[in-house]
Homo-oligomer: A and B are copies of this chain.
């Protein structure tokens, strides 16, 4: 089934304890689409500026399953740019700068050819924009939104409206706590379900993820990555969501057990993202690589 993602395409400058890279491909939509494309075709709705590097376009085009019809280039605008620095533990980071560029303008245009999209992922942006974009897809079977601390702080009424319109939400553990005032990740997600969605996925980074659904709870560890394998965690959360939604759309599933299986595909897909800067880790993958690591993950995470 058709999977569509709206979100940011950005230019990232990233410092890790080992290295600094400038102006690599980034953004929630880019990571999501690249990751999901290993599982099914993906339609992109996003905007970039006239400064968008040709090599970034070439990078995205390496993902044969990514449909760029909805990628709008605005020659007089600038591309969203983000700079961040990771601390020694590679699990915490600070933002060094953010240039919103096209994100300060009107939302990207949704092509008519996308109107029949069935699986919708609203990557992180202002919840009012997420709602506007969602309204273009009346035939949707599953709509899932990501969010972040910024919108919980400055646009909570819009976010609460959005939560009534989506089937599921994906967010970090700290954001679930911020939104609900509850630190326990499962109880926090239960409170989010009271706000509207029928499931919430709590992303715990190196500690895995928890799915709280009206029909059950699923818990999953992260793929066990050694120190030398963790090159750049940027985009891991979006790649996780891409693997999850890509599995669901590819299998045409929206049920609890499907989501639980999707968590595993998301985990495995994200494990490749952190092994390189930008999309390099995903670009060189084949479907066989992903399936092989899934088998490895199932051995690592066998229960009893």
Chain B hits for A218, CB < 8 A: 300-302
B221 adjacent to A186 (CB under 8 Å): no
A294 within 8 A of partner (CB): yes
Which one of B183, B187, B226, B301 lies within 8 Å of A219 (CB-CB)?
Answer: B301
B221 adjacent to A221 (CB under 8 Å): yes
Copies of this chain, count: 2
Chain B hits for A220, CB < 8 A: 221, 301, 303
A186 adjacent to B225 (CB under 8 Å): yes
A297 adjacent to B301 (CB under 8 Å): no
Known contacts being A184-B230, A208-B221, A221-B219, is A301 close to B298, with CB within 8 Å?
A: no
Cβ < 8 Å to B, chain A residues 195-226 = 204, 207-208, 210, 216-226
**In the bound complex, what is the Cα–Cα distance between A224 and B213 (angstroms)?**
13
B303 adjacent to A219 (CB under 8 Å): no
Q: Range of interface residues on chain A?
A: 35 or more
Most chain B C-beta atoms within 10 Å of own C-beta, residue among A88, A183, A221 = A221
Known contacts being A184-B227, A184-B230, is A304 close to B265, with CB within 8 Å?
A: yes
A141 within 8 A of partner (CB): no
A264 within 8 A of partner (CB): yes
Chain B hits for A230, CB < 8 A: 184
Chain B hits for A301, CB < 8 A: 218-220, 301, 303
A153 within 8 A of partner (CB): no
A260 within 8 A of partner (CB): yes
User: What are 13 A-to-B residue pairs whose CB atoms are below 8 Å?
Assistant: A89-B183, A183-B227, A187-B228, A190-B226, A204-B207, A208-B208, A218-B300, A219-B221, A219-B222, A219-B300, A220-B303, A265-B304, A297-B304
